[in-house]
A = this chain, B = another copy of it.
Amino acid sequence: MKTKAIVAGVGMTSFGRHQDRSLKSLAGEAVLAALRDAGLSPADVQAAYMGSAAAGIITGQLCVPGEIVLREIGIGGVPVINVENACATGSTALNQALAMVTLGAYDVVLACGYEKLVHPDKEKSFAVFTGAADVERADELAATVDERLREAGMAVTAGGQRSVFMDIYAMMTATHMQKYGTTREQIAAVSAKNSFHGSLNPRAQFRDVITVEQVLAAREVSYPLTLPMCSPIGDGAAAVILVSERKARELGLQRPVRVLSSAFRTGWNFAEGEGESTVFEQTIAQAYEEAGVGPQDLSVVELHDAAAPSEIIHTEYLGLCAKGEGGPLVESGATRLGGRIPVSTSGGLLRKGHPIGATGIAQIVELTEQLQGRSGPRQVEGARVGLAENGGGFVGDSVAALIVTILAR
């Protein structure tokens, strides 16, 4: 969708462990911060898209979590739509809010992502990820993962609590290593780079800088992935206020950020007989085309690095380098702050953290601040165009939801 919405304000909590705080408290903080940033009040919100994925299991708040959050901070009398799309939940909220503003339904729409994942009972936190793939086919999926890992000559992680998603990422990684000669050092370089970016972000879950050697020496989660190659479990919330062009003029926004496009689809397309890699490329191509920009125009990218190899694979999809060159790209420093195209200046999911529902919106918060020149020590100089890529869930052999958003100042 070619969009016509303007980001009037952004807000977010720090990401990390917030065991003493409720969903209401986290999401409320983010929404009120975004409203303040926009110079608006709760009464100005005309519709709200509220994204969370795990509340039912983690807090018991199975239904209407959005209304509960919003009532607490004085928002009501408007449509509140609770949306969910696993790790792409936040971008789903954003995409729908964008559509409403673009199509002229409202002048001021809130998109918020919020999540609590940390639970004293770790089984509950893990159940969230199990529940983001087809639960009726969990055994089938595990068997497929094992088989592909064996084919690629990789060890199969045995025993203990399996992390379904990290197994899937391990499988994708094995394929990429086999096909393109991608190395574990290159994958570790993603974690190391993002730890540097995260060290500059006061809202990041992890602030320490780690080296390639430290990443490789860490505990194995699912070969070839070690712990710092996997995004952590954490809590947090992020919010964006989108406004129409008319409202943006009325507000006299000093540093308006325009959303140029938002492409959204499942990872498979039966009508065209296409699978994940083709759909990835089509979705990204659509986002570029509707925005009227190409990879060479990007100043900064927030990417869905739920696992470190994702950055390598997805920088290729995004056209930031040729196929198979994602490993060398990160090793060259091109995706580091100061490099040709900084990727995940926030620290990414790996270091900023990944409270599922909040992630997609937090990407927009980071890009908006970068495009407004207010990212402090991690500012990309002269940033003009930013891209966010967010994926969620796993069905069959594909991502369930893939959303690519392009913004510009």
Contacts and interface: CB of A to CB of B under 8 A. Distances in A.
Interface of A: 1, 22, 24, 42-43, 53-54, 56-57, 59-64, 67-68, 70-71, 74-86, 92, 95-96, 99-100, 103-105, 127-128, 130-132, 134-136, 264-272, 274, 279, 392-393, 395-396, 400-401
A63 B132 contact: yes
Contact of A78 (B62, B64, B265): B265
Interface centre among A71, A103, A127 (most CB of B within 10 A): A71
Contact of A393 (B56, B64, B104, B266): B64
A255 B59 CA distance: 46
A85 B212 CA distance: 46
Given A83-B81, A84-B82, A85-B80, A268 B63 contact: no
Contacts of A393: 63-64, 67
Contacts of A96: 81, 96
A391 to B, nearest CB: 11
Contact of A103 (B78, B86, B104): B104
Given A56-B62, A63-B86, A64-B86, 11 more contacts: A24-B136, A42-B270, A57-B62, A60-B127, A62-B132, A63-B400, A68-B400, A74-B270, A75-B270, A76-B267, A103-B104
A224 to B, nearest CB: 26
A266 B70 contact: yes
B60 A270 contact: no
A43 B271 contact: yes
Contacts of A99: 100, 103, 105
Number of copies: 2
Nearest to A42: B270
A47 to B, nearest CB: 9
28 contacts: A42-B270, A53-B62, A53-B63, A57-B57, A57-B62, A62-B127, A62-B132, A63-B131, A63-B392, A64-B132, A64-B393, A67-B393, A70-B266, A71-B266, A76-B267, A76-B268, A77-B266, A77-B269, A77-B271, A77-B279, A78-B265, A78-B266, A79-B95, A80-B85, A80-B266, A81-B96, A82-B83, A100-B103
Contacts of A82: 83-85, 92
Nearest to A104: B103
Contact of A71 (B68, B392, B395): B395
A266 B62 contact: no
Contacts of A128: 62-63
A22 B136 contact: yes
Contact of A63 (B68, B75, B77, B84): B84
Nearest to A92: B81
Contacts of A22: 136
Contacts of A64: 84-86, 132, 392-393, 395, 400-401
A271 B271 CA distance: 46
A109 to B, nearest CB: 12
Contacts of A54: 62
Given A60-B127, A62-B132, A81 B77 contact: no
